[in-house]
Amino acid sequence: MAFLPDGRLLITQRAGSVVILTADGATVLGTLSGLPAVDSTGQGGLLDVALDPDYDGSSNTWIYWAFSEPGVGGSGTAVARGRLFGMALDNVTVIFRQAQKVSGSNHFGARLTFRADKTLYITLGERQLDDPANPTTRYAQNVATHFGKVVRINRDGSVPADNPSFAGTGALPELWSIGHRNPQGAAIHPATGELWVTEHGPQGGDELNRVQPGGNYGWPIRSYGCPYGSPVGDACRVGGGTHAPDYTEPVSYWVPTSIAPAGLIFYTGDKFAEWQGDAFTGALAGTALWRVELSGTAEVARERLLGDLGERIRCVRQGPDGWIYLLTDSGKLLRVER
């Protein structure tokens, strides 16, 4: 979801539509027209949405969305933008396409976040192509593909000149970081301006990562998680678990089983003053909201919240009113208040 300047909400729906809700979330005002076709098989569909950094509702009405795009060979994560007028989009253009379409319906990633210089980060899953037991299929490590990467582009889809350079044949210029599995949360740290992501591990090993330019986060060579079906414990950790010194260690990770983190914010509002600067991520398998308390770039503590709801929390946003808003897989919009 994304909040318009007047408080109304844009909410994507997996099957391929975007609705606009009143500021109180109580009424659906309408459904946008002009969206491209999506492949909503499995984990695919119409995914994240973000406003242009200069969106003002009049001279600039650009919005951006990520979706699983059908095509020859299967589907791939794509990002489009269009200008919002009333309940319609025009000037719709796809500004990014995953380099290859592949079969399968999992691990699209597809979170969007703008940094201060108005360039756009896009998180990309490895489409569940990587098998830690097979060293020949390390797509997330292959710099000639978009699988298991974070990319950074300009608003028109061009590549910023100051992106990091990666060694390797055919390295793609839009790459920002590599070695990710399925990053389904992305947020800019309010103090440092750095990108942070949450990503799914296999059986355990979900991660909160501080993403540095040119960084390698280890998948599928290292993970604190285990191959699916392994006995629950730490003896089965992929590559022994420890990432350093070859790969970047996560700030936080969840073991021995997965919570499947989704969505990410750093809280900056005044409604929960004691939580300012904390990270919040939803959980799909874990059906909860997690609060991660940080000191600089280190985890101090973490807390599981709202676990009694039994809801798969897909999206987390801070509202303009300072409350925390959640979207669930059961179709609920929730507001966290005192």
CA dihedral (146, 117, 157, 38) in degrees, to 10, reads 70
Give Rg (Cα) of the chain: 19
pLDDT score recorded for residue 315: 98
Whether residue 250 has a cis bond before it, omega within 30° of 0: no
pLDDT score recorded for residue 226: 97
Q: Which among 107, 146, 180, 243 is annotated as catalytic?
A: 107
pLDDT score recorded for residue 73: 95
Q: Respond yes or no: is residue 107 known to be catalytic.
A: yes
Ordered DSSP codes for 225-289: SB-TTPPSSSTT-GGGS--TTTSPPPSEEE-SS---EEEEEE---STTGGGTT-EEEEETTTTEE
Sheet holding 17-21, edge to edge: 2-3, 9-13, 17-21, 28-31
**Straight-line distance from the first to the last Cα atom of the chain, in angstroms, rounded to the nearest whole number:** 22
The two tokens of residue 15 are: 């099957």
- Are the beta carbons of 223 and 133 closer than 8 angstroms? no
Q: What are the angstrom distances between the C-alpha of 293 and each of 69, 273, 297?
A: 37, 13, 10
pLDDT score recorded for residue 99: 87
- Are the beta carbons of 301 and 311 closer than 8 angstroms? no
Sign of dihedral through CA atoms 250, 252, 256, 258? negative
pLDDT score recorded for residue 230: 96
List residues bridging with 63 in a β-sheet: 51, 82
Sign of dihedral through CA atoms 335, 1, 193, 264? positive
Identify residue 102 by its one-letter amino acid code: V
Q: Which residues of 270-302 are buried (b: 16+ CB within 10 A; e: fewer)?
A: eebeebeebbbbbbbebbbbbbbebeeeeeeeb
pLDDT tens for each residue of 54-68: 999 999 999 999 999
Given a cut of 50, the residues of the chain with pLDDT beneath it are none
Identify residue 246 by its one-letter amino acid code: D
Q: Give the phi and the psi of residue 309 in degrees, each rounded to 5.
A: -75, -25
Fold designation for 108-251 = Neuraminidase (2.120.10)
pLDDT tens for each residue of 271-294: 999 999 999 999 999 999 999 999
Output the CA angle 39-175-147, nearest 5 degrees.
Answer: 40
Residue labelled with tokens 């060293």: 135
List residues bridging with 267 in a β-sheet: none
pLDDT score recorded for residue 324: 98
pLDDT score recorded for residue 161: 98
CA dihedral (149, 153, 157, 161) in degrees, to 10, reads -120
Integer Cα distance of 58 and 60 in angstroms: 6
The two tokens of residue 138 are: 């390390």
